[in-house]
A and B are shown apart, each in its own frame.
Chain A
Amino acid sequence: MGEQKSLLEVSDLRVSYGRIEAVRTLSLKVGAGEFVGVIGSNGAGKSSTMRAIAGSVPPSGGRIEFKGADVTSLPSYEKVARGIAMVPEGRMIFGNQTVRDNLLLGAYTRIGHDKAGVAEDMERALSLFPRLRERLEQLGASLSGGEQQMLAIARGLLSRPKLLVIDELSLGLAPKIIEQIFPILIDLNRQGLAVLLVEQMASYALAVTQRTYVMENGSILLEGPSQELATDRRVLDAYLGRRH
């Protein structure tokens, strides 16, 4: 990635829940416009790291910088305002509100002073995901799993983020849907959006991202260009399950 100035810089992050320490001394970077993946087994601390970056759990140590400013313990609504949007694990759409309202809630931080911008972004999100346009007045809960994931991404985009954090994109999605969503993310990334993607299906993550972190036991085990990691023996053994 060259010596690009980092958009997101996480150093020595720690996250604990009660007696469990989920993340210990983790450091990672995401450059502006970069597409970065995080893979690793369950319990490695991937989701906890994403939640700390998005501000939904407070870190117990370390530092998170975004656009050069310390955002370590900012609440998530302020992080959204600064440009970090989260597509949470399990999608977490508002099931008893319409698709339109879900999208408008994504723009909550700026809807008061940027009506025109929101309308424009809404239009852009709906042309990315035409399925959502068909279902605009339907309740979120009535969408299928794939449509809900599209809605969660579109909702994230409506805050006009610089960094989109996605926790488990493929979770519970049929192969055909996954094939529809990934190209859209790649496109968004080409247009300049930085994406940090946690993905359990390592083959997907390695295929679409530029750089990948491999997490194990709460810290980074390996890091490198995705193409190289995809042929790394350790990664093949643990995450791709290919014999060689």
Chain B
Amino acid sequence: MKPHHQFWLILILGFAGLYLFRELGPTNYAIGVLTRCMILAIVAVGLNLLIGQAGLVSLGQAALYGIGAYVAAWLTLRADVPFLPAVVSGVVAAGLMGAALAYPSVRVRGVYLAVITIAFGLVFQNVLVEWVPVTGGTLGLTGIPRGEVFGVRLTRQIYFWVAAGSLAASFNIVYALTYSRYGRAMRATAQSENAASALGIDVARTRMFAFVVSASLAGLAGALYTFLNLFVNYETFTFFQSVSFLLMVIFGGIGTLLGPLVGAGILTYVPELFQDFREWQVFFYGAMLAAVMFLMPRGIVGTISKLAVWLTARPQTRDAKPWPSPAALPVTMVGGHVEGTVVAEIKRFTIRFGGLTAVNEASMSIKAGTVHGLIGPNGAGKSSLLNLMSGFYQPTSGTMQFLGAPTAGIASSHLARRGLARTFQNTELFGDMTVLENVLVGLHCQYKATLAETILRLPRFFTEERAMVGEATQLLELVGLTDYADELARNLPFGHQRRLEIARALALRPKLLLLDEPAAGLTHGEIEQLKELVQTLTAQGIAVVLVEHHVDMVMSLSHEVTVLDYGQVIASGEPAAVQYDPKVIEAYFGTGDLLVPASENERPPVVAGSA
């Protein structure tokens, strides 16, 4: 089932269910429990964006939930602020707190954010108890009046629908972000930071955005809780509550649309059911959680949908189409720089790691519409030089001009947006995203639709998305992978992964393309096709830097070749001159006695007989 079908189905069935529930004439208590469940689900839906898309874990959602609750309660009680502005203030306060927490911690992945949010949660609870004049200490804030909107008093009956509407709105926000360039960027940063920044995505900002959204939704839920419960107290916003939010997401199924709703339902209703067990309540609750996780490791919704895919899937083979097909070159890439103008000028680049000088005073000049070969023994510093050029390393000394502007101190993601694209020696694809999505991430920076247009799904969002899918499909056609478009990237054979990486890099509409061993793992025939592709690109004025061990390929494609050894340029010039340089033969080619790789212009392999 397609995501937008799922979305509408969940929304329609959800509201139908709520309507039925009300028609059954439930008690006030039952209405209250379901309202609380929907409020908790708002937090879970927001947290699912953070965990499922951005791959970050927060264990402090209860504190952000608490900020929303206390801000709304305090404003209502002490400043007579009406319901709506009080709720909005709660959302904003939690969002700001989220930004402040995320700023120092999202640069690094892993457990940092989790630890910081745990610490924040503990501090927060302590502040609630000790800061008596504002928070009311252990008693909390009591006597909060019911909210009123446009003269309508929000009784329990009506408030039920307020909570339902807020949950639907939050669900829509998270859905709309997930299935747009924003969600793709989040998933990309979770799967490969390097590749994401090489495609122009600011990793830290993307993660911060995800965290601010999840914090704001927690704040919204907190403010809504205030006007349901009518008093707030520190006991609600405990570390245990944060864990419980996390469990809702895991339990329902991380990254699924329906999961957090199911999770919130279970974690609200199951404790109610177990109340009769008294002191055994926690025991049964824990045992049930463990049992379900054991049987359904991807959570309830995650496991069931995985099972459905598995049952309906039938093995099939896919074939790569002949490539390259230059006719498929997107119009956005046709034309470009005049051949011969200098695209990048590197002067005396040096980088040291501790005592090791990986690149030592290397200089190169790269011209539009040409291929600049870069060869050298393993460990000579070729990849380090590419990392310097693309902004992944900052040089110890030396400078680079790219399109006439210095690159010193500029982050890799910014260089990418200026038109510097690269591939990686050990391919860095977004393995759990489809082949098409990988290329769409490459197009991330070309999007113009605003956040509001994306969330509200205004016409520009759709027209733009269609255009981008069109361009991405063309790029896949260029490298012959259209047949694989909706396959997960990690399921591709290694050689096809290399092709996909090139297509993804081309989505940046680059002026300079750095290829790090693009032919490694390709067969002879495929290398010929790759050569054709590179020539197609240079014909459009793109400058290509080619690091490669398939010497024939380098020599036949390159206009100029630079040879590195121990980080230093030992030879540079036209391919023919470099190839017979004794220093290069000594450092790189070896004697050639045992074997010679297949090629047209060299001796045939020992056993293969002559051509």
Is the CB–CB distance between A16 and B425 below 8 Å?
no
- Min C-beta distance of B172 to chain A, whole Å: 30
Q: Which residues of A contact B589 (CB under 8 A)?
A: 175-176
* Cβ of B79 under 8 Å from chain A: no
A71 to B577, CA, bound (A): 55
Point out the residues of chain B lying under 8 angstroms from A60, CB to CB: 315
A240 touches B524 (CB 8 A): yes
Stretch of B140-148, B200-208, B599-607 lying at the A interface: B599-607
B25 at the interface (CB under 8 A from A): no
Are B611 and A243 closer than 8 Å at their CB atoms? yes
Residues on A with beta carbons closer than 8 Å to the beta carbon of B592? 175, 179
| A102 adjacent to chain B (CB < 8 Å) | no
Q: Which chain B residues lie closer than 8 Å to A47 at the CB level?
A: 493-494
Q: Is B525 an interface residue (CB 8 A)?
A: yes
Contacts A172-B520, A175-B551, A242-B600; is A204 near B595 (CB within 8 Å)?
Answer: yes
B354: min CB distance to chain A, Å: 10
**Partner of A241 from B377, B587, B600 at Cβ < 8 Å:** B600
Q: In residues 6-58 of chain A, which contact B (Cβ within 8 Å)? A: 16-22, 24, 39-44, 47
- A217 beta carbon closer than 8 Å to chain B: yes
Which residue of B is nearest A145, CB measured?
A: B378
CA distance A21 to B592 in the complex (A): 40
For B493, what are the chain A residues with a Cβ–Cβ distance below 8 Å? 22, 42-44, 47
- Name B316's contact: one of A20, A40, A44, A244 (CB within 8 Å): A20
Asked if B320 is at the interface (CB within 8 A of a chain A CB), the reply is yes
Stretch at the interface among A74-82, A187-195, A226-234: A226-234
Q: Give the shortest distance, in Å, between B488 (CB) and chain A (any CB).
A: 7
The reply to whether the CB of B594 lies closer than 8 angstroms to some CB of chain A is yes
Collect the chain A residues with CB atoms within 8 Å of residue B599's CB.
241
Q: Given A174-B376, A175-B551, A218-B317 in contact, is the A243-B608 Cβ separation under 8 Å?
A: no
Within 8 A of A (CB), among B500-524: 517, 520-524
Q: Is B528 interfacial (CB 8 A cutoff)?
A: yes
Q: Does B318 contact A (CB under 8 A)?
A: yes
Does B588 belong to the interface (CB within 8 Å)?
A: yes
With a cutoff of 8 Å between Cβ atoms, the chain B residues found around residue A43 in the complex are: 320, 492-493, 495-496
Contact yes or no, A172 B425, CB < 8 A: yes
B590, CB-defined interface residue at 8 Å = yes
The complex places the Cα of A60 from the Cα of B315 at a distance, in Å, of 11
Checking B317, B318, B379, B593 against A144 with a beta-carbon cut-off of 8 angstroms, the contacting residue is B379
Cβ of B298 < 8 Å from any Cβ of A? Answer: no
Tell me which residues across on chain B come within 8 A of A172, comparing CB atoms: 378, 425, 517, 520, 549
A89 within 8 A of B: yes
Given A42-B526, A90-B426, A203 and B595 contact (CB-CB distance below 8 Å): yes
A42 near B588 with CB under 8 A, answer: no
Q: Is A128 an interface residue (CB 8 A)?
A: no
Please give the distance in Å from A185's CB to the nearest CB on chain B. Answer: 11
Contact count A vs B, C-beta below 8 Å: 167
Q: Please, which residues of chain B bring their CB within 8 A of the CB of A173?
A: 378, 549
Question: Counting CB contacts under 8 A, is A93 at the interface?
Answer: no
Asked if A105 is an interface residue, CB under 8 A from chain B, the answer is no
- Distance of A41 Cα from B320 Cα, bound (Å): 11
Q: A179-B591, A217-B317 are in contact. Are A206 and B600 (CB under 8 A)?
A: no
Chain B residue numbers with a CB within 8 Å of A222 are none
**A40–B523 Cα gap in the complex (Å)?**
7
B275 beta carbon closer than 8 Å to chain A: no
Q: B425, B594, B600 — which one has the most chain A CB atoms within 10 A of its CB?
A: B594
**Chain A facing B: main interface SS:** mixed
Name the interface residues of B402-448: CB closer than 8 Å to any CB of A.
Answer: 425-426
Min CB distance B153 to A, Å, is 54
Quick one: closest B residue to A21, CB to CB?
A: B315
The CB with the most chain B CB atoms within 10 A, among A42, A168, A226, is that of A42
Does B13 belong to the interface (CB within 8 Å)? Answer: no
Does A147 sit within 8 A of B, measured CB to CB?
Answer: yes
A202 in contact with B379 (CB, 8 Å) = no
A178 beta carbon closer than 8 Å to chain B: yes
Closest B residue to A41 by beta carbon equals B523
The listed residue (B379, B596, B611) touching A147 by CB distance below 8 A is: B379
- Chain B, 372-413, contact with A by CB distance < 8 Å: what is the 0/1 string? 000011110000000000000000000000000000000000
Q: Does B598 contact A (CB under 8 A)?
A: yes
Of all chain B residues, which has the CB nearest A208? B595
Shortest distance in angstroms between B483's beta carbon and chain A's nearest beta carbon?
Answer: 11
Which B residue's beta carbon lies closest to that of A146?
B378
| In contact, B314 and A19 (Cβ under 8 angstroms) | yes
Which residues of chain A have C-beta atoms less than 8 A from B590's C-beta?
A: 175-176, 179-180
CB < 8 Å neighbour of A243 from B425, B492, B526, B600: B600
Residues of chain A with a CB closer than 8 A to B520's CB? 171-172
Interface residues of B in 521-565 (CB under 8 A from A): 521-526, 528, 549, 551
Task: Tell me if A17 and B597 are in contact (CB < 8 A).
Answer: no
A171, A178, A200, A227, most chain B CB atoms within 10 A: A200
Q: A17's closest neighbor in chain B, by CB?
A: B491
Tell me the bound Cα distance from A166 to B244 in angstroms: 47
Q: Which of B313, B320, B426, B587 contacts A18 (CB 8 A)?
A: B313
Please tell me which one of the listed residues B317, B525, B598 contacts residue A21 in the complex, with CB atoms under 8 A apart.
B317
A226 to B487: give the CA distance in the assembly, Å: 35
Q: Contacts A42-B522, A202-B523 given: A179-B595 contact, CB under 8 Å?
A: yes
Q: A145-B378, A171-B520, A179-B591 are in contact. Are A20 and B598 (CB under 8 A)?
A: no
Q: Which residue, of A168, A172, A243, has the highest number of chain B Cβ atoms within 10 A?
A: A172
Q: Are B606 and A144 in contact (CB under 8 A)?
A: no
B133 at the interface (CB under 8 A from A): no
B526 touches A41 (CB 8 A): yes
A182 within 8 A of B: yes
Query: With A and B bound together, what is the CA distance between A179 and B517 in angstroms?
Result: 19
User: How long is the Cα–Cα vector from A1 to B528 in the complex, in angstroms?
Assistant: 35
Selected from B426, B588, B594, B608, the residue in CB contact (under 8 A) with A240 is: B608
Cα A200 to Cα B491 with chains together (Å): 19
Q: Nearest-CB distance from B310 to chain A (Å)?
A: 9
- Whether A230 and B487, one on each chain, are in contact in the complex, defined by CB atoms closer than 8 angstroms, is no
Do A240 and B315 have beta carbons less than 8 Å apart? no
Chain B contacts to A: CB under 8 angstroms: 309, 313-318, 320, 376-379, 425-426, 487-488, 491-496, 517, 520-526, 528, 549, 551, 587-600, 604-609, 611
Further pairs besides A241-B528, A242-B600: 12, Cβ < 8 Å = A16-B315, A18-B488, A19-B315, A42-B526, A43-B492, A145-B378, A174-B588, A176-B588, A203-B596, A203-B598, A239-B525, A244-B611
Top 3 A-B residue pairs of the complex, sorted by shortest distance between their CB atoms: A42-B495, A144-B379, A176-B590
List, sorted by A's number, 21 A–B pairs whose CB atoms are closer than 8 Å.
A18-B313, A21-B315, A21-B316, A42-B494, A42-B522, A144-B378, A145-B378, A174-B588, A175-B549, A175-B551, A175-B588, A176-B588, A179-B593, A201-B524, A203-B598, A206-B605, A230-B607, A231-B609, A242-B604, A243-B611, A244-B611
